[in-house]
Amino acid sequence: MERIRDRYRSISFRGRLLLLLIAVSLVQASVAAYTFFDLQSKPAEQRVQAQLNAALRGVAPVIDTQLAAAGDRLRELHADPTLQAAIEREDWATVDGIVGGEDPATNVSDPLPGDVTTTDGFEPSESSAVQPLRGFVTDADGKVVAGTRPDGALIEQPGVTTSRLLRQSNLVATLHVPVAVDRAFLKQRIESYVPKGVDVFVADERTVMSTGADDAAPRPSGLREGLREVELGGSDQLVLAQPLLDGSVLVGASMPAKVAAAQKREGLSSLWGFIAVLALITLGVSWFITRAVGDALRKFADIARELAGGQLNRRIPVTGDDEIAVLSTSINDMAENLEDRIDSLVAARASMRRQVELFGEALANATEIDEMLQAVCSLAMESTSATHARFWTLDHEGHYEHAACIGLRPNDTEPCGLEKAVPIRNASVRGEGEPSWLVVPARMRDGQIVGLLTLVSTAAAFDEEDVKIAERIAVQAAVAIDNARMHEQLRLQATRDGLTGLPNHRSLQDELTKRLAEAYDSGMPLGVAMLDIDNFKRVNDTYGHPVGDEAIKAIGRTLAHGIGGMGMVGRYGGEEFVVIMPGCDADAAFRIADRLRQDITTIEVPLEDGGVLRVTSSFGVANVDQQHAGARVDNAELLHQADVGMYNSKRSGKNCVSLAGPDTVVIEMSDAEKAKLAARETGDTAAEMAAAASLEANPPAPYDPFDLAA
């Protein structure tokens, strides 16, 4: 025993593992073989029984057909009056000639003669489709008195193939038309339905007729219903039998017992092959596992030495969940944590630098100051120890304005006077038990301060690295603020009128294009008004262009205030303005334009002598709804119609509103009006007064502003 133990210990770990796996595999293979052998025998028996059942299913319809034919033949004989009369007279020779004939005549309409009646529940059938069958008659003692009993096994059923004839309740004779199963019947009608290798048989109380024997054999005493092994036809047969009719006749299928046993052995032989293949696979897997474990342990030792030497990127392969696997996992986790920590520190520094640089580029291209400064606060919190952040903007006049914050309210103030009072240098303050505050001014390259970045840390105090990062972020934010302000200034210059601050001609055209598309897409009305300051040239000539500019600015403010958010007011050029009124039909647009006209009359422009200048304006209104049915107008056409209306307002006495449509015509001046205008331009006062007198004597026809075809 001691020698065996020493011998076992001398084997390598790899060899011992291989022996253990082989032993376990053999035990498993033995259990599997026993289970498979037990399970395989049942399917083999089931396959044999299935073959026998298939043979029985093929025989049953044939016998049923023959029974039906026998029943029809029996009814045919009962319907024969000659047969009934012969039986009544016990004229067996005549009866023999009728029941033993090949193709007897039938007459189903004649009743039975005398007082001979049928028993056994038999009723004559009116069917004429009777297959010729031979019958025989027995007397009250069972002796054949007419016809011949057929050879082979007989299938008889009272009321179907036999009928008893009574006279005054006494048995006279019994008429038999059985289904006789002989060699010819089996060969002609049964054998074609039987699977190869299986025989079928029919056994009455005395004999057995089988497809496997040429002659009838005595019925064995052990032949009964069910599956059993019986000596049949001189050999051992595996027999599956089932009763037919009243049970006196058995129909069955048989197979040589040695053939059934061979089928079982055939299934088991394939099982032996499977077990052999399984054993080979098991041995191969055992060898593979042994080699894998041995290689893993060897590699574990090599990698453990490398880890000990500082190569933290090395890992030990882990297989299984034993103690070695747990140790390997622990060492791997330790090395991975150390490596991740070092890598994360290096990556964090590099990522922080990249983020600040990339964010600086993004800030330099930013145009929305509030959105950009919100991102500045977020970056500052991610890059430093800050838990709260805020940004103030500083305009050119030195006024601070809250722009963005995270974690602070807009009205919170920084402690110790650091918030807007001295934004000259970086400052960090932390009182005892209070959060740490860091205030960094956002300076331009020329030293100009444009904002203030405030950071708060409720955890740790800000260190030097935090201050440096905050400085870089503040510098980038200052550049972004300057770029955003410059972009906004350029945008306003491109879209706003320099004198009034209203949208310029280009902005008006863009807005009108958009509103026209919306009007036609949605089916909503759109009104446009064009106005001109009355006698504006006289204002400039009399009071100078500065006063004229003040009048234009005052009118622009009045129009913008009067239209509010309902539409858009812009300076079209010179002393002309355009008002866009979405959703307004002709009537609404006219009323709004008339209200704006009245508001303009209340404007007072101060003069140098202490007086005030009052101005009026003439409006022309056009509307999308006033166009021809199905017609679509563009900017130029709609503005042209409004311009025609404005001109007609001036021709109608000025300081009024006129509607215009596609059919509106321009009101021409009379000769007297033209003469008055020419005299005014040349300074001929006498001619102007004469023209005015002529106009008073013959005034022009009044103009109806709502008559679009005038």
Q: Report d(CA 626, CA 658) in Å as an integer.
A: 13
What does pTM read for this prediction? 0.40
Residue 404 sits at the vertex; the CA angle it makes with 402 and 410, to the nearest 5 degrees, is 50
| Tokens encoding 598 | 């009245």
Q: Which of 135-139, 285-289, 378-382, 611-615 has the lowest mean pLDDT?
A: 285-289
Reported as a single tens digit per residue, the pLDDT across 133-154 is 778 888 888 888 888 888 778 8
Please indicate whether residue 693 or residue 541 has the higher confidence score (pLDDT): 541
Q: Which of 20-29, 102-111, 509-518 has the lowest mean pLDDT?
A: 102-111
Same fold, 365-494 and 497-667: no
Please indicate whether residue 643 or residue 408 has the higher confidence score (pLDDT): 643
Provide the mean pLDDT of the chain. 77
Domain range summary for the chain, segments of one domain joined by +: 51-269, 365-494, 497-667
What backbone torsions phi and psi does residue 126 show, to the nearest 5 degrees? -90, 5
Task: Provide the 3-class DSSP secondary structure of residue 423.
Answer: coil
Q: Report d(CA 371, CA 364) in Å as an integer.
A: 13
Give which of 75, 81, 63 is closest to 156, Cα–Cα.
63
Please indicate whether residue 409 or residue 651 has the higher confidence score (pLDDT): 651
Specify the residue for token string 């299938």.
155
The model's confidence at residue 604, banded by pLDDT at 50, 70 and 90, is very high
Q: Which residues contact 107 (CB under 8 A, 6 or more apart)?
A: 79, 80, 81
Give which of 517, 452, 459 is closest to 478, Cα–Cα.
452
Q: What confidence score (pLDDT) does residue 485 get?
A: 77
pLDDT above 80 (res 350): no
| Class of the CATH-defined domain 497-667 | alpha beta
Q: In what order do the strands lie in the sheet with 617-623?
A: 568-573, 576-582, 526-533, 617-623, 657-659
Q: What confidence score (pLDDT) does residue 9 get?
A: 65
pLDDT above 70 (res 121): no
> Exposed, middle or buried, 144 (CB in 10 Å: 0-12/13-18/19+)?
middle
Whether 182 and 201 have beta carbons less than 8 Å apart is answered as no
Ranges assigned E (strand) in 395-481: 400-406, 427-430, 436-443, 449-457
In sequence order, the β-bridge partners of residue 579 are 529, 569
In this structure, the strands spanning 617-623 and 657-659 are parallel
CATH architecture under which domain 365-494 falls: 2-Layer Sandwich (3.30)
